[in-house]
Each structure stands twice: as structure tokens, then as C-alpha cells.
Amino acid sequence: MEKFDVVIVGGGFTGLTAAYVLSKQGKRVHVLEADDTPGGLAGTFNFNDGVKVEKFYHHWFNNDVYVPELVKELGLDGDIMLLPTRTGMYFNGRLWKLSTPLDLLRFKALSFMDRIRLGLLVFQVRRIKDWKTIEHLSIREWLEPLCGKTVYKIVWEPLINSKFSVFAEAVNAVWMWKKLVLRGGTRNDKGGEELAYFKGGFGRLAEALAEGVRQHGGQVSYGRRVTGIEADGTEIVRLATDQGPVQGDKYLFTPSFPIIADIFDGSADPQWVSALRRVKYLGNMCLVLRLNQSLSETYWLNVNDPGFPFVGVIEHTNFDSPDNYRGSRIAYLSRYLATDDPVWAYSDEEYFQFAMGHLKRMFPKLDQSWVLDYKVWRSEYAQPVTERNYSSYVPGRETPYANAYISTMAQIYPEDRGTNYAIREGRDIARALLQA
């Protein structure tokens, strides 16, 4: 059996970045990805006529560092697009523009004083330097005293409820604090927000990264699922996969904690496996619509109206040009939910009709004839739930085996999951493996 220096489970950006760094250092690396494309949640798919889009919407912020660094290292920095964006909110039956400070002042769903409170919030959150001082608080417990109950009820509560579903009151304040601090630093000199995108999408970037691994002597295998481990005392000897065993000196596991727990279950310390399962997750259902007409001029539309089951309507082609999608319009409808929610069991057609019913309330002119095609994507472990005092119970990189490590998006904390930080973690764990 061929033996590798490092075997990496998971071909998302953490696993691929780690493989890329290690292979450039001369290590023989093998990446095992269960899906048929690289990138994880940033993977792509083709519509029937070959138009390629991402399964879940993506961009990065102009203050992100690790994505552009990697793009430049791959020699593809000419494919970065930095664009101003139009953001807004759907509330009380109408669309509100919220791209600039002037838009905020016109947001008459709030009183003038509440608009001022909302505008000053970003300066208040920047005063917090040690996130552990607010980790014991829920988002509500922290935000309401800062911005007032009305601002929280109209602006933040609907978004938190849509994002975290049944866990909305359990998520700690650090998640929101980090979001506000990061987003407050993405404004241009006119107060508008700028976002970045990679031509062809993050899936194309993942493919380029996988090719970089191969060019340096590594292997990337798709459609290969890891089912268990075989250990000898304090070390893993080989991995079991649905296509036969794979052997390495060291092992890195990058999927979500429940998937890692399933791989180790029955072989590793039950208490450690139980600690992996302690971290809760929400699933995501994402409807990708391909339309012959635009819904609105807004790229990112937060849905704050009670009764709408989506965290947002993201019209991707108000960011990237429709010309890249044969003139059609691409829109994403995102819903976070527990996997025992009845909606999770909907067929694709049922979910499409469910979504269209709500979308027509938001856009009355919308007709089903606008829909050229659609696709529903599901991710069972899309969003880790960072409950109060999360840092006290989230597992670290070490495993019960001396030659095995884990690095997942649930460990990016206090930052939230995202491609930028997945790349950072991939570099960090690769350095740790080299030192080990």
C-alpha cells in the first residue's frame, strides 16, 4: 500500500490550503473528498446548459487578507473583482436601501433617535477589546442595552432568528460582536461597502488550488468517503474508505465535528467523541434561482419582515455581471434550520413552491415564467452554534492519537465560518504539521 506523509480528510478550503502548503514543502499529500467537486460549501454546479454557479452564495470583504494572498500566490490576482455593493432590508412590506450612512438616516421604520443609535453602534462595539468579557451573554442580552429594544426588535432580532432558528437565544454575543467589527471596516471613503469576488466563483479557485496540490506532487481524490480509522495504540495506522484503505504518517480531519465523530466512533475515547458532538449545528437549504428578469436592484437584501422564512434574498447578478451567466439572473434564497424541522424533508419541488409563494409576496410582479431553472442545495452542518462560553467547550486540534489533528470551521472562533478564515486555518495547521 502506498504510504503518504499526510492524509487529509476533506477537500474544502482548509484541507486544500493545508495540502497546498505541505506539498510545496515536499510532503507527499493525499486529500480525500467525499463530494465530486472541491471547495466544500464553496463548491459549484452546472445548470443543464452548462452555466456554472456556486451552490451557496459567496464573496469576500475588502478587509479580508487570506483569500487575496492565496489568489496572488496561485498567480491569479488578475481575476479579483472589487465592486461596490447595494444592500437593503425588506421590512413592513417594502424595500429599504441601506448601503450608505445617508440611507440609514432615511430609514423611517425607526425614529430619528433610534436611527442615530443604530449608526453609533459600530463605534460602541469597537470599544470592546477582549471578547471573553461578553462571551457569557446572549446576543440579545448584549445588544439591547447598547441600541435599545426597538432597534433590536426591528433590525437585529429578525436576522438572528432567521440565522439561528431554535438556537437564537442561545448564541453568545461574540458572534455578533465580531460581525459588527468586521463589517464596520469594509466601507470605502464614501461610506459605501465594497466586496470582492473571484472571476468564475470560489469553485474555480478551489479547482486551481487542487491543481496546485497536484503540480507539487500531491493527490486529490473525489467521491471517496472516509468511513473509519484503524489505530495501533496511540497512533492511527490507516483510514478506511469506501474505496479501500489509505495509509499515512500523519492525518488531518477537516469536516464538521459530527462527521469526524462518526469516523472515530467505536475506535477512539468515547468521552472525546462526545465532546465533538457537544457542538451543535444548523442545516441550510439554499434555493438557487436562474431567472430571465431581475427581482430588484439590490445585491444583499436582509429579510426583516416577520413571517418570511429566509434570512436573505441574494441576487448574485447585481454583484457579478449577468453576462457571465448567459444574460440570466441568479438569485439565492437561504434558510437556516434544524434538520428535524419538517421543511428539511421537503422535496426540491415542494421547497421551490414554498419559496416562490413567499417570494411573490415580496415581489408581486414575479411570475413563475421568470424561472428558467432552479436547484436546491442542502448542507446538514452549515452553521456551528456558538453558545454561551463556547471557548470553554469547543474541542481543540489534538485528538487521542499523536499523529492525527482536526481543523474545522467550528474552531475559527471568535470569527465566524468563512472562506477567508478557512484559508488561514489551513496555513496554520500545515505549519503545525510541519513542526510536528
Residue 121 domain boundaries: 84-196+280-387
Q: What is the pLDDT of residue 184?
A: 62
How confident is the model at residue 102, as a pLDDT?
Answer: 85
Q: Is residue 428 part of a domain?
A: yes
Q: Is residue 7 part of a domain?
A: yes
Task: Taking residues 127-146, report their average pLDDT.
Answer: 96
C-alpha cell of 76? 491569479
CATH number of the domain encompassing residue 8: 3.50.50.60
Q: Tell me if 427 is assigned to some domain.
A: yes
Lowest mean pLDDT among 155-159, 259-263, 424-428: 155-159
Judge whether 125 lies within some domain. yes
Average pLDDT (371-378) is 97
pLDDT tens for each residue of 215-261: 999 999 999 999 999 999 999 999 999 999 999 999 999 999 999 99
326 and 411 together in one domain: no
Percent pLDDT > 70 in the chain is 98
- Domain-embedded: residue 177: yes
What average pLDDT does the segment 357-363 reach? 94
What local confidence, expressed as pLDDT, does residue 325 receive? 96
Are residues 266 and 310 located together in one domain of the fold? no
pTM of the model: 0.93
272 found inside a domain: yes
For residue 190, pLDDT beyond 70: no
348 within domain boundaries: yes
> Do 235 and 357 have their domain in common?
no
Residues 6+ apart with CB under 8 A from 309: 162, 335, 343, 354, 358
**Cα–Cα dist 412/421, whole Å:** 7
Mean pLDDT of the chain: 93
pLDDT of residue 123: 86
What is the arithmetic mean of pLDDT over 149-176?
94
Q: Which residue has the cell 429579510?
A: 303
Report how far residue 342's alpha carbon sits from residue 322's, in angstroms, rounded to the nearest whole number.
35
Q: What is the mean pLDDT of residues 1-9?
A: 94
Segment 80-127, tens digit of pLDDT: 988 888 888 998 888 888 877 788 888 899 999 999 999 888 889 989
Task: Please give the residue that has the higher pLDDT: either 435 or 184.
Answer: 435
Predicted pLDDT of residue 187: 56
pLDDT in tens, 299-340: 999 999 878 889 899 999 999 999 999 999 999 999 999 999
Pairing of strands 80-84, 194-198: antiparallel
**pLDDT given for residue 306 in this prediction:** 79
Q: How many domains does the chain have?
A: 2
CA 273 – CA 385 distance, rounded (Å): 18
Give tens-digit pLDDT for 192-202.
678 899 998 99
Residue 382 maps to a domain: yes
Contacts of 57 (CB under 8 A, 6+ apart): 286, 314, 316, 332, 334
Q: Report the range of poorest mean pLDDT among 36-40, 83-87, 243-247, 269-273.
A: 83-87
Q: Which residues of 68-92 are buried (b: 16+ CB within 10 A; e: fewer)?
A: bebbeeeebeeeeeebebbbbbbbe
Are 359 and 423 in a shared domain? no
Average pLDDT over residues 395-411: 97
Alpha-carbon distances, residue 186 vs 63, 72, 84, 160, 210 (angstroms) = 6, 21, 10, 21, 30
Length of the chain: 436
Give the domain CATH number at 119. Answer: 3.90.660.50
